[in-house]
A and B are shown apart, each in its own frame.
Chain A
């Protein structure tokens, strides 16, 4: 007997669910796992939704539940890897190519001015491209990046979870940021 229909009757919860799903798919790269995580988070939220004063608070709180679900899934996956974790895309050379032999930006690769963040964030196109760029990262690189930037782990915690050295972690984060930036520079600006 499905008792959860009242969660989805509110149009704003439907929108929230879409946001949550997008967030979960981005990190788990598995639609059915993402659906499960979102469903569990919504049910957990629904069963104790007392005392919320505003939509913003609900979103923050539900997302924190969702983040914890995602963290559990990632931990489980790291412990028992069942599929190939890498996706080769030659991006290592791609980043080095942006600089000349003196380590300076090549003229055509020079970062441009993206303007005010607030303006970018109001633009739907920005978010679409942002997701595309995150999704095109290599899985092992993306995992570290997203644990750091979406799930709020600090580098020591990431090293601990994934059993990698701190300097290795920093290198991965640097390359993740650099390739994300490059993707945005190419596709959005």
Chain B
């Protein structure tokens, strides 16, 4: 079972390279049941978008 602490590490990793199938499944499942990590995931996406915006690099 994925802890929140490890889920946050996986979320960060997923921004570097595609997750392995096992990693992806356990993260997906965790995000389904944990609203804190769900919000964390959304926050990470927002941060990345903000950085793209700052760098004049919007997609």
Chain A interface (Cβ < 8 Å from any Cβ of B): 19, 23, 26, 59-60, 62-64, 67, 99, 102-105, 110-114, 117, 120-121, 126, 130, 149-152, 154-155, 170, 173-174, 177-178, 180-181, 184-185
Contacts and interface: CB of A to CB of B under 8 A. Distances in A.
B4 A170 contact: no
Contacts of B50: 117, 120-121, 126, 130
B3 A177 contact: no
Could you tell me the dominant secondary structure of chain A's interface residues?
helix
Contact of B55 (A103, A105, A112, A150): A150
A152 B46 contact: no
Could you tell me the dominant secondary structure of chain B's interface residues?
helix
Contact of A63 (B40, B44, B55): B55
15 contacts: A19-B56, A60-B56, A63-B57, A99-B3, A105-B36, A110-B35, A111-B36, A111-B39, A113-B42, A114-B39, A117-B49, A117-B50, A174-B13, A177-B44, A177-B47
B56 A149 contact: no
B22 interface: no
Contacts, number: 94
Contacts of B17: 155
Nearest to B13: A170
Interface residues of B, number: 33
B19 to A, nearest CB: 12
Specify which of B5, B17, B52 lies most central, judged by the most chain A CB atoms within 10 Å of its CB: B5
